[in-house]
Amino acid sequence: METVKVTASKEYTVHIGTGFLNSIGEKIKGIKRLCRVVLISDDTVFSLYGEKVKKSLTDSGYSVVEFVFPHGEEAKSFENFEKILEFCAENSITRTDLFVALGGGVTGDLTGFVASTYLRGVDFVQIPTTVLSMVDSSVGGKTAINLKAGKNLCGAFYQPIAVFADCDVLNTLPRETFNEGCAEIIKYGMICDKDFLAFLQDNSIKENIEYVIKRCVEIKRDIVNRDEFEKGERKLLNFGHTIGHAIEKCSNLTISHGNAVAIGMVIATKGAYEVGMSEEDYSDVLLPILEKNNLPTTCDFSAEDLYKASLSDKKRSFDTMSVIVPEELGLCKIMKLPVEDLQNFIEKGMN
């Protein structure tokens, strides 16, 4: 098993390996005394792994109640947030108890936000079950739910007490879902690791999954340790996300996060070159890696549609927008773009 230690406002370890779901109760017991556990999962993941995790927890001495919700991005809603809070109150969950998020990014984001607000803060553990959640959303402490105006507009920075990424669960992922997670992996190479990007050019992500997950977590760990609350450097992790979130919104969430980010990275890379923010067009390198991993690179929405959908993005500050663009291969920078120039930026990137 590989481990990566995060030393943000709360220190914790990310465990990466295979075959440890059956012993997850004992592993959690090493960091959290016996208590009541609220196991939160969606219906798809719980049907695959919920009983196994619950049994491991109860066999280790924990008392477990579970909250299972319908799968999908729509689950990151005020309705589910409120339902889980009421469920916890009805079950007399206390501040010394524990939340366990078993699932992908939706489950982790929702559970983390509940944990940050219920009784003003309860410990929680992440057990990510998708590539995307293992390399990105389970680490770093961003928790959120969606508003009608856009994704992740209501949330908090709240770190877990541990993350357990069992790569065996990835064997049950649909191929498309696995591929979607590869967009975030490619993002890490583009923003700050040229050697890792070269590795992704020449090697299969699936065949090197443990190494790939560890490297992504290390990159994110280093950035989060330096800028936990996204005052500066951490914004680099949003490469492709502003336009990606706009694509998700325009599609009414029918285009998944990973696919939208893949397209968003292409538009940001091409747009940066066309408007003079980048000296070279690095999409010549980015496109083949995305295509190799069966990720989309274009969408049917207009630049105007994406511009309007981007205006509620968290990275906007009054009359400017922070955009992440390549400075050179494997190195991105944060640029301030006047909001009125954003539509042209997107349009150039789409052409």
Cite the active site residues.
120, 142, 184, 220, 230, 234, 238, 241, 245, 257
Residues in the chain: 351
Instruction: Quote the CA–CA distance of 158 and 116 in Å, as a whole number.
Output: 6
**What are 125's strand-pairing partners?**
100, 162
Structure-block tokens of residue 264? 């968003």
Q: Which residue has the tokens 């968003």?
A: 264
Q: How far is CA 227 from CA 31, 113, 137, 191, 241, in A?
A: 25, 20, 16, 15, 18
Instruction: Quote the CA–CA distance of 59 and 243 in Å, as a whole number.
Output: 46
CB 32 within 8 A of CB 95: no
Torsion of CA 328, 303, 307, 343, to 10 degrees: 60
Structure-block tokens of residue 313? 């993005």
CB 101 within 8 A of CB 126: yes
